[in-house]
Amino acid sequence: MNTYFSEDNGMKVMAPVDCTGGLTGEVISLANTDSVAISLNFGTSTSATVAAALKQFDGTTTKALEIKSAYYIKKDAETVFTKVELNSDAIDLADLADVKGHVIIEVMASDLDHNNGFYGVSVNLTNGAIAKLVAVEYIAHQLRFKPGYKQGL
């Protein structure tokens, strides 16, 4: 087993699903970790209108997670990721309408509204009537309790 994932980090993988009509992401707790990288892997489609929204969770409600950082995107046959600045919780993925692609979003635990009890993060997808497959991976970095493979995310 890879030491990187087994001791310091945790990983949760969701099987590929069709996000036609939208998809509410699973809430990942950042209570025991410094950050989480959310990896979205999209399949090829034709004219899909996909967008993502980052949300924070307090146990009963969600609200926008407006981080002022960036996300990274790689389309189709590109060999490097392009950095895209983020100014709100909304991530426009129009560039992936007709092609497969990979998006990575990093959320720091310090980005959450801890003063109001928010401890979890999720990414919700919106999509029109065109089929688009997506697989989601959550990679938690620097878990406070080890080994990472025994921690629930």
Each residue's pLDDT tens digit, 88-143? 778 888 888 888 889 999 888 888 998 999 988 888 888 877 778 888 888 887 77
Mean pLDDT of 27-36: 84
Q: State the pLDDT confidence band at 2, using cuts at 50, 70 and 90.
A: very low
Which residue ranges form the domains of the chain, and what is each CATH number? 3-143 (2.60.120.380)
The sign of the CA dihedral 22, 123, 58, 27 is positive
* Model pLDDT, residue 148: 52
Mean pLDDT of 84-88: 81
